[in-house]
Amino acid sequence: MEGEKKHFVLVHGAAHGAWCWYKLIPLLKSSGHRVTALDLGASGANPNRLDEIVTISDYARPLMEFMASLPEDDDDGKVVLVGHSFGGYVISLVMERFPKKVLVAVFVTAEMPNLVEPPATLMIEDLELAKLMIRPFKFFLGDMSKESLLSEAQYGSVKRVYIVCKDDVLTKQEFQERIIKSYPPDEVKYIEGADHMAMLSKPKVLYQCLLEVADEDWQSCDAQLQKEGGSAE
């Protein structure tokens, strides 16, 4: 509901860390929102070595443990889950395991898996990202190219918003649009002049986009759909 303070959980992309949100975090906090940004496995200040991270589950463990610590069935405590770039894969795992703890998932120029193709089929752009690594990273191709880890009942039940960064030369707009077309979200937003690191190049615009998403009455929408026995499609 508009005006209510939310809990934003920010998930970084490949070879980055929680540090990449340093411009966005104070903006969200200045509006009274709670913000959590974690370093994933072998990322940022996380103490794990890369050779200790064998699977995508190992990589996502810090986030999964945090989400497990949140109370169940607390509508007021649902988080706004934000994933950037490869972080889109990570938040999809959270959506699958903890759908009732997520108010809405926001994909910022991020991979957004569909329910037909294995997640690894969208990773060609992330292989280009490997050339720009700040910290060594592995892409779990074998782990993620197996049968889909996601389901309509869990992952598919969470509201999704995709934010297109129009000047992203790494994950180009055409590729972002292809991701959107393969599994249409509930809403699409566009940021003019934003490159791949929108939280650094356009932090105030991204902040406004996230406030708009957070202020939408997603829970009332769900309640209305359940009352009518319908779906969002």
Give per-residue burial for 205-229: e unless 16+ CB within 10 Å, then b.
bbbebbbebbebebeeeeeeeeeee
Q: Which amino acid is at 189?
A: K
Number of other CB atoms surrounding residue 73 within 10 Å = 8
What's the pLDDT score for residue 65?
A: 94
Q: What stretches of 56-177 adopt beta strand conformation (E)?
A: 79-84, 102-108, 160-165
- The string of pLDDT tens digits covering residues 200-214 is 999 999 999 999 999
pTM of the full predicted structure?
0.84
Catalytic (active-site) positions: 85, 168, 196
Does CATH number 1.10.287.1080 belong to domain 7-228?
no
- Tens of pLDDT along the chain (233 residues) come to 556 899 999 999 887 889 999 999 999 999 999 999 998 864 655 556 666 666 778 888 899 999 999 998 788 899 999 999 989 999 999 999 999 999 999 999 999 999 887 665 445 444 444 444 444 444 454 555 454 578 999 999 999 999 999 999 988 999 999 999 999 999 999 999 999 999 999 999 999 999 999 999 876 555 444 444 444 43
Domain boundaries, the chain: 7-228
